[in-house]
Chains A and B, each alone.
Chain A
Amino acid sequence: MTDKKPLLEARQVFKGFFGNPVLKGVDIALHPGRVHALLGENGAGKSTLINLLSGALQPDSGAIAVDGRPVGRFSPATARAAGIAVVQQELSLTADLSIAENIGLGAFPRRFGLIDYAALHRGVREVCAMVGLTEPLDMPVADLALGRRQMVEIAKALFRKPRVLILDEPTSSLSAHEAGILAGVIEMLRDRGTALLYISHRLNEVQALCAHVTVLKDGGVTADQSLSGIDGEGLVRLMVGRETGDLFPPRPACTPGAPRVDVTGFSAGLVRDIAFSARAGEIVGIGGLVGQGQEDLLLGLYGAIPAKASSAEVSGKSGLPADVGAANAAGLVYVPADRKHEGLVLPHSIASNLILPSLGRLARNGFRDRPAETGLIADLARRLTIKGDVARPVQALSGGNQQKVALAKWLPLDPSVLLLNDPTRGVDIETKREIYLMLRAFAAEGRLIILASSDTPELVHLCDRVVVLREGHVAATLVGDAISEEAIVGAAMGVDRKGAAA
């Protein structure tokens, strides 16, 4: 660590989308031979910062500097030329091409203008050995499981012989063994003088690997310091920066009512043959690592994807809803995690979005009842404190307000079961608090709330009961005092803990 000059820096970068600031003056400096952790809650601006550092986006103001010199027009091509490689959460692979071609894509060795398959083979064999990929190199990526694809993605980054390597949640779909191999690779690269940026929700990994940390919150840097001498709790304090008690409403003693959802032998998408039941007045959390079937459980109950069950009773009706319309009619509603693509019609007005599920109910003689619609919209906007003109396109709203619209549009249906998928992702603290209060109030009114969340504190402090999924099966059901971050993470990772598994 004699060379103190950072290889890659962001200097006071600002970036916004549709007028919503996402990054508000962020600094970060990546030094050679150091693993730098980037922490922050969902929606804090991590992905945007990565996109700026890799040239996929341009900052609105501020600069990206390579080797201490600011670069004017930073593109993925110039980033690559500067030796910057990124392993994104969303894979950059082409399903029908082979492992070797995918690893070489964009950086093929050439001879006479053609791809030099001999050189490609040599290079690919080397990086595959590093990450333990033993599959035949001619195998199409489509044939690989998600975790193996992630390893191909990592091999692809290594193939570019990066001076700076950015890893965004690289272990979210890896097995413990694969994660161990990756940790070894990271240490080796660090010792060779590579600058690494490591983004992960798994604080034990961060502690084990990283020497320095930058914490983002609501688009600003709240900490930029060495990690030496900081333990797990210290990390959490850095990230949260407040007592969690402020955020969550008090949890009254749970007095569940009649069963609202009761399925056995339930399969949908990744979910395989599970039993699940929940009662009116409960908030039931669904936890687990990313992509273990949480979303499919909700979508299957909602009739949005094909599902089957050996026995099912949903909202007082026997059998699963056949489609979304039937689910709505039975009093089930769904708020998706990806509100921009699944929850809202972004270019349409706030009013159109709020009224969409109620169109049929408000119609009289086949025609829309405009005064009734206007009244309802005004009422919803007031109840959820959505400020301003409802004729504005919903994409002009901040993430938190968009989420309120996605939730509010269902209220006129007086739903008895609310299926929520990560409802606070990318939502500011204030709105989070409002949403939590609202969910508590819903439960008190006797509604059932099923809440899938990637935010573990949310599961711990808001839910009456937490079901942890792992590989499509129920790994644990935690009730009351048994709900803790350790118990949830342990069950999610497949660690057997006494008293936790039910």
Chain B
Amino acid sequence: MSAVSSSGWLYGAIQSRRNRGLGGLYLVVAAFLVLYVVLFPGILSVGGFSKFTQNWFPLALVTMAQALLMLNGGITLAIGPLVSLGAVIAATTMGGVFGVPGGILAVALTGLGIGAVIGVIVAQLRLPAIIVTLAGSFIITGVALLLLPRPGGFIPGWLSTGLAGHTPVAFLLLVLILLLWKVFLATPLGLGIYAAGDNPIGAFRSGVPVERVKIAAFALSGLLTALAGLFVAAQTGSGDPVIGAPFTLNSIAAAVLGGVGFLGGKGTMRGAVCGSLLLSVMINVMFFLGFPPVAQYIAQGLIIVGAVAVPELLKQWRARR
């Protein structure tokens, strides 16, 4: 076995092992997709496919952002406000002197910066992520409201058509982001996220810079969330300081559906992305079947509790036997 082929073997083997336990999820997702195609054959056209993936894209991004933190043993309740802030910053800066590139840069830096600050507070001061991000979510909402008290701002028309028109650009972007995640996961820092989530003391003793890993996870999570906000702004053509609200719970729901555990280190990003796809399809189906939009809330509440409770009940039931 030469070095090169053995490298391919080890990496490939590890990657294929990560699909273990996800077979059921893949099946459910496939079944729902088939159902969707049967109900709405329009998805098979380029336009239909584009629209479908555009609805999925921001959810996929925030789910990745949430899963990244949950895998690391954290959680964030600031997803929704940060999506809103991303949208607001995009809508307020793109009309400025630096135009669209300046706007994208501003959104990305804001996401990275806010994420890093939260990460420093959580990691260095050892405060619970859940309450820090809860407090952070109010500060972020406030900033978004100050920048843009009511929906408005400016997004160039070509950007909206480019990202959210009749082309599957959103899907291609998602593929690109997933590829970048794969690359990230092949760095010591990326694997450190898993290790520090599952066994922080062990990872620390092994020489993983646990605190730096945590800060990086929060920063990356912030970046993904803010970019989802940028996309939402492009989709709607304007900025809205409260548009992100539903994403907080949705991101948790999708990650939990995808098998990501609350205690860190358990689960996979591919599972989380599948979970977001599943949730997106469910929401679409409910919408097309004529459920009122608020029924979504009811469904989400049930889905989250179910996704956590069912495996737990199964475990208890198995233990009894």
Q: Quick check: do A and B touch in the complex, using CB within 8 A?
A: yes
Chain B residues touching A, range: 20 to 34
CB within 8 Å of A: which residues of B?
3-4, 6-7, 9-11, 13-14, 17, 20, 183, 186-188, 191-192, 194-195, 198-199, 201-209, 265-266, 319-320
Question: Does A409 count as interface, using CB distance less than 8 angstroms?
Answer: no
Q: Are A107 and B207 in contact (CB under 8 A)?
A: yes
**Min CB gap A269→B, angstroms:** 10
- Cβ-defined partner of B17 (8 Å) among A86, A98, A110: A98
Chain B residues positioned under 8 Å from A98 (CB to CB): 14, 17
Chain B residues positioned under 8 Å from A54 (CB to CB): 205
Chain A residues positioned under 8 Å from B204 (CB to CB): 56, 76
Interface members, chain A 290-333 (any B CB < 8 Å): 306
Q: Are B186 and A115 in contact (CB under 8 A)?
A: yes
Q: Are B198 and A306 in contact (CB under 8 A)?
A: no
Interface members, chain A 47-102 (any B CB < 8 Å): 54, 56, 76-77, 80, 86, 88, 90-98, 100-101
Chain A residues positioned under 8 Å from B265 (CB to CB): 94-96
- The residue in chain B whose Cβ has the minimal distance to the Cβ of A118 is B7
A97 touching B195 in the complex, CB below 8 Å, given contacts A105-B203, A106-B208: yes
Q: Supply 20 further A-B pairs (C-beta < 8 A) apart from A76-B207, A92-B199.
A: A76-B205, A76-B206, A93-B199, A95-B198, A96-B194, A97-B198, A98-B17, A100-B10, A100-B14, A101-B191, A105-B191, A105-B192, A105-B207, A106-B188, A106-B208, A110-B188, A117-B186, A118-B3, A118-B4, A119-B3
Give the most central of A88, A94, A139: most B CB within 10 Å: A94
Question: Does A120 count as interface, using CB distance less than 8 angstroms?
Answer: yes
Can you name 17 A-B residue pairings with CB atoms under 8 Å?
A76-B206, A92-B201, A94-B194, A94-B203, A94-B265, A100-B10, A113-B187, A115-B186, A115-B187, A115-B188, A118-B7, A122-B3, A122-B6, A137-B10, A137-B13, A138-B14, A306-B319
**Min CB gap A195→B, angstroms:** 19
Q: Are B191 and A97 in contact (CB under 8 A)?
A: yes
Give the most central of B14, B187, B198, B265: most A CB within 10 Å: B14
Q: How long is the Cα–Cα vector from A139 to B199 in the complex, in angstroms?
A: 18
Q: Are B10 and A120 in contact (CB under 8 A)?
A: yes
Question: Does A25 count as interface, using CB distance less than 8 angstroms?
Answer: no
Chain B residues positioned under 8 Å from A119 (CB to CB): 3
Q: Are B13 and A97 in contact (CB under 8 A)?
A: no
Q: Are B195 and A105 in contact (CB under 8 A)?
A: yes
Q: Are A92 and B14 in contact (CB under 8 A)?
A: no
Question: Does A212 count as interface, using CB distance less than 8 angstroms?
Answer: no
Q: Are B14 and A94 in contact (CB under 8 A)?
A: no
**Min CB gap A454→B, angstroms:** 22
Give the most central of A86, A95, A97, A106: most B CB within 10 Å: A106
Chain A residues positioned under 8 Å from B201 (CB to CB): 90, 92
**A107-138 interface code vs B (CB 8 A; 1 in, 0 out):** 11010011111111110000000000000111
Q: How long is the Cα–Cα vector from A66 to B265 in the complex, in angstroms?
A: 35
Q: Are A117 and B7 in contact (CB under 8 A)?
A: yes
Question: Does A140 count as interface, using CB distance less than 8 angstroms?
Answer: yes
- The residue in chain A whose Cβ has the minimal distance to the Cβ of B206 is A106
Chain A residues positioned under 8 Å from B207 (CB to CB): 76-77, 80, 105-107
Chain B residues positioned under 8 Å from A93 (CB to CB): 199, 202
**A398-412 interface code vs B (CB 8 A; 1 in, 0 out):** 000000000000000
**Min CB gap A236→B, angstroms:** 32
Q: How long is the Cα–Cα vector from A93 to B198 in the complex, in angstroms?
A: 9
**A275-297 interface code vs B (CB 8 A; 1 in, 0 out):** 00000000000000000000000
CB within 8 Å of B: which residues of A?
54, 56, 76-77, 80, 86, 88, 90-98, 100-101, 105-108, 110, 113-122, 136-140, 156, 306
Chain A residues positioned under 8 Å from B14 (CB to CB): 98, 100-101, 138
- Cβ-defined partner of A138 (8 Å) among B3, B17, B188: B17
Q: How long is the Cα–Cα vector from A117 to B11 in the complex, in angstroms?
A: 6
Chain B residues positioned under 8 Å from A116 (CB to CB): 7
Q: How long is the Cα–Cα vector from A117 to B182 in the complex, in angstroms?
A: 14
A114 touching B203 in the complex, CB below 8 Å, given contacts A136-B13, A306-B319, A306-B320: no
Chain A residues positioned under 8 Å from B7 (CB to CB): 116-118, 121
**Min CB gap B269→A, angstroms:** 12
Q: How long is the Cα–Cα vector from A94 to B6 in the complex, in angstroms?
A: 23
What are the 6 tightest A-B residue pairs by CB atom distance, in nearest-first order? A92-B202, A118-B7, A106-B207, A138-B13, A106-B206, A94-B195
Give the most central of B183, B186, B202, B203: most A CB within 10 Å: B202
Chain B residues positioned under 8 Å from A90 (CB to CB): 201-202
Q: Are B205 and A92 in contact (CB under 8 A)?
A: yes
A138 touching B203 in the complex, CB below 8 Å, given contacts A94-B265, A106-B208: no
Q: How long is the Cα–Cα vector from A76 to B192 in the complex, in angstroms?
A: 15
- The residue in chain B whose Cβ has the minimal distance to the Cβ of A105 is B206
**Min CB gap B259→A, angstroms:** 11
A97 touching B188 in the complex, CB below 8 Å, given contacts A92-B201, A156-B206, A306-B319: no
**Min CB gap A218→B, angstroms:** 26
Chain B residues positioned under 8 Å from A80 (CB to CB): 207
Q: Are B266 and A96 in contact (CB under 8 A)?
A: yes
Q: How long is the Cα–Cα vector from A458 to B188 in the complex, in angstroms?
A: 47
**Min CB gap B207→A, angstroms:** 3
Q: Are A118 and B17 in contact (CB under 8 A)?
A: no
Chain A residues positioned under 8 Å from B320 (CB to CB): 306
Q: Are B10 and A138 in contact (CB under 8 A)?
A: yes
Q: Are A96 and B186 in contact (CB under 8 A)?
A: no
Give the most central of A105, A108, A140, A156: most B CB within 10 Å: A105
- The residue in chain A whose Cβ has the minimal distance to the Cβ of B184 is A114
Q: Are A92 and B191 in contact (CB under 8 A)?
A: no
Q: How long is the Cα–Cα vector from A167 to B77 in the complex, in angstroms?
A: 42
Chain B residues positioned under 8 Å from A106 (CB to CB): 188, 203, 206-208
Q: How long is the Cα–Cα vector from A77 to B266 in the complex, in angstroms?
A: 26
Chain A residues positioned under 8 Å from B187 (CB to CB): 113-115
- The residue in chain B whose Cβ has the minimal distance to the Cβ of A305 is B319
- Cβ-defined partner of B203 (8 Å) among A92, A95, A117, A122: A92
A115 touching B10 in the complex, CB below 8 Å, given contacts A92-B201, A95-B265: no
- The residue in chain B whose Cβ has the minimal distance to the Cβ of A97 is B194
Q: How long is the Cα–Cα vector from A121 to B198 in the complex, in angstroms?
A: 23
